[in-house]
Chains A and B, each alone.
Chain A
Amino acid sequence: AIRMTQSPSSFSASTGDRVTITCRASQGISSYLAWYQQKPGKAPKLLIYAASTLQSGVPSRFSGSGSGTDFTLTISCLQSEDFATYYCQQYYSYPITFGQGTRLEIK
């Protein structure tokens, strides 16, 4: 199975900050990568797929980049509603696998 490793596992930031979360695949996955946001007690929500395609309805402050093994999720100007846990997920091959999550907390 392809292992997905996110960094950092958690960090604190302030409203208005620009933040970047990284995700590394244990082998090349082309652009078969998605990012999800999960808030406590809620189901995950798709933010980005195909590494950089913004899902309909997701604010443009979210962006994704990368291909192969290294990927990033960037939030350009943090809003209060963005404090959550973020997961990357590869769908290049089965089994589908997720990263361990990055918890973004308010500083």
Chain B
Amino acid sequence: QITLKESGPTLVKPTQTLTLTCTFSGFSLSTSGVGVGWIRQPPGKALEWLALIYWDDDKRYSPSLKSRLTITKDTSKNQVVLTMTNMDPVDTATYYCAQHIVATIFNWGQGTLVTVSS
């Protein structure tokens, strides 16, 4: 059974850096073609893809957010970490981590709501 779970702060202040951790099980990030990425969804709005890291450490970012995002992995811990700098209220959203297989998103975490407010 494949599971992913997001963890991190639920409230951050403007200008702060957000750090989210995805802890997963049921698959290995050492397997060819497998990646773990992040997608967000502001309340009542559509999905927005953010970043992805592959088994071979290839990293992909949304161009509109690339300057603010960093994605890393710890294969031994089955974790992927996303950092987003200079948070703003418009970044308030549910953040999902998800298993990608050659860019198709097969399995999603439950999501974590992050609110940006002073």
Contacts and interface: CB of A to CB of B under 8 A. Distances in A.
Interface of A: 1, 32, 34, 36, 42-46, 49-50, 55, 87, 89, 91, 94-101
A96 B108 CA distance: 15
Most B Cβ at <10 Å: residue of A36, A94, A96, A97: A96
Nearest to B111: A43
Contact of B103 (A44, A46, A87, A91): A91
Contacts of A101: 46-47
Given A43-B109, A43-B111, A46-B105, A95 B46 contact: no
Given A1-B63, A34-B104, A96 B49 contact: yes
Contact of B60 (A55, A89, A94, A97): A94
Given A1-B63, A96-B52, A44 B104 contact: no
A96 B47 CA distance: 11
B24 interface: no
4 tightest A-B CB contacts, nearest first: A91-B103, A43-B108, A96-B49, A98-B47
Interface of B: 37, 46-49, 52, 60-64, 96, 102-111
A95 B104 CA distance: 12
A interface secondary structure, majority: loop
A25 B49 CA distance: 16
17 contacts: A34-B105, A36-B47, A43-B96, A43-B108, A44-B105, A45-B108, A46-B105, A46-B106, A55-B106, A87-B46, A87-B47, A91-B104, A95-B64, A96-B52, A98-B46, A101-B46, A101-B47
Contacts of A94: 60, 103
A95 B63 contact: yes
